[in-house]
Amino acid sequence: MLDVRRLRLLHALSVHGTVTAAAEALHVTSPAVSQQLAALEREAGVALVEREGRRLALTRAGHVLAAHTQLVLDQLAAAEADLASLRTSVSGVVRVGAFVSVAALLPRVIQVLRSAHGSDVELFVHEMEPEASLPALRRGDIDIAVIHSYNIMPRSLPTSCESFELFVEPVNVALPLSDPLVQQDSVDLSVLADRPWIMPRTDASCHELTQRACGAAGFVPRAQAYCDDFGVMCGLVEAGLGVALVPSVARRPGVALRPLTQQVFRTVSAVVRNRADGQPAVRAVLEQLRQV
């Protein structure tokens, strides 16, 4: 029979790519990982790893077993969640991965949790974009991933995960207060074709959003600056460096936000592994996220 603890090591190697990284993720030593993988190979009766230069890589059989292990680990996580849901006390550690503009709201969540549950519920916050938080959720590194998706850029979720909508907000064009377009109720992106743009970094989904929205309006935005923080973007807009697309949560004095005639909006959701919302501590955090 295959040992679940050894299967976790194989899964960690498939996720993290190296024995050293897998050992760090599971808080064991690298030699221990190698020894346990060798034992797992004896149990399986087939080679699961092979040398590629100085590192160990999964064989075809290793990839097959790692995929099955993911299903096993998901089912174990669901079983733990179901057992936790039977507890009446609300306590435990909840790890949340949230992108920057929503992470700024989490101090309010922490305050309410402490008021209701004292130190029984401990919240750890990791600032990360959905491209990082969803894989982290699947690996079990975090318990809740707060993510965003856009109506013109749907986002697929990992299998064995559930999504809970927190709020929907429009995407607006950010303009200096002195801009004549501020007088309009909405702005058609095509009139901004010749303007310089403040853009998110090129590997961010928000960058792709701006590219798609402007492309649908018939032009490619000319980047004047790149930055990740919507607050900084609005500051650059206020200084007259260019225009930008930002969600409503980025509102700040000195900048006018006007809705688009193209009706672009983003949905912010909390994602958990299946049935994890039944765990009292996770459920308490989800409830406060919805309220805040």
pLDDT digits (tens, 9 = 90+) for 196-208: 999 998 888 889 9
On whether the 169-263 domain is CATH 3.30.590.10, my answer is no
Residues 5, 96: Cα–Cα separation, whole Å: 25
Under 8 Å between Cβ of 242 and 198:
yes
pLDDT band at 234 (very low <50, low <70, confident <90, very high): very high
* Mean pLDDT along residues 11-16: 85
The pLDDT of residue 79 is above 80: no
pLDDT band of residue 3 (cuts 50, 70, 90) is confident
Residue at token pair 């050293």: 20
Is residue 86 over pLDDT 80? Answer: no
Give dist(CA 214, CA 234) in Å, integer. Answer: 18
Distance CA 170, CA 260 (A): 8
Q: Mean pLDDT for the chain?
A: 88
Q: Is the pLDDT of residue 91 over 80?
A: no
Give 175-193 pLDDT, tens digit per residue: 999 999 999 999 999 999 9
CATH 1.10.10.10, domain 4-85, yes or no: yes
pTM above 0.85, yes or no: no
Residue 117 has pLDDT above 90, yes or no: no
What gap in Å lies between CA 221 and CA 210, rounded to an integer?
A: 8
| Choice between 256 and 26, residue whose per-residue pLDDT is larger | 256
Task: Give the whole-angstrom CA distance, residue 190 versus residue 30.
Answer: 56
Specify the CATH number for 89-167+267-290; select among 1.20.1260.10, 3.40.190.10, 1.20.140.10, 3.20.20.80: 3.40.190.10
Three-class SS of residue 11? helix
d(CA 169, CA 219): 25
In this prediction, residue 96 has a pLDDT band, given cuts at 50, 70 and 90, of very high
Q: What is the mean pLDDT of residues 267-283?
A: 86
Token pair, residue 144, equals: 């809740």
Tell me which range, 41-55, 83-97, 205-219, 278-292, is most confidently predicted by mean pLDDT: 205-219
Same fold yes or no, 4-85 and 89-167+267-290: no
Question: Is pLDDT of 7 > 90?
Answer: no
pLDDT number for residue 89? 64
Which of the given ranges, 194-198, 199-203, 230-234, 248-252, has the highest pLDDT on average? Answer: 194-198
Parallel, antiparallel or unpaired: strands 255-259 and 161-176: antiparallel
Q: Residue 88: what pLDDT?
A: 61
Q: Band of the pLDDT at 9, cuts 50, 70, 90?
A: confident
Structural domain spans, the chain: 4-85, 89-167+267-290, 169-263
Q: What is the mean pLDDT of residues 234-248?
A: 94
pLDDT of residue 257: 95
Mean pLDDT of the 11-18 span:
85
Beta strands in the chain (DSSP E): 49-52, 55-58, 92-98, 121-127, 144-150, 161-176, 196-199, 222-226, 244-247, 255-259, 265-273
In angstroms, rounded to a whole number, what is the distance separating the alpha carbons of residues 108 and 241? Answer: 33
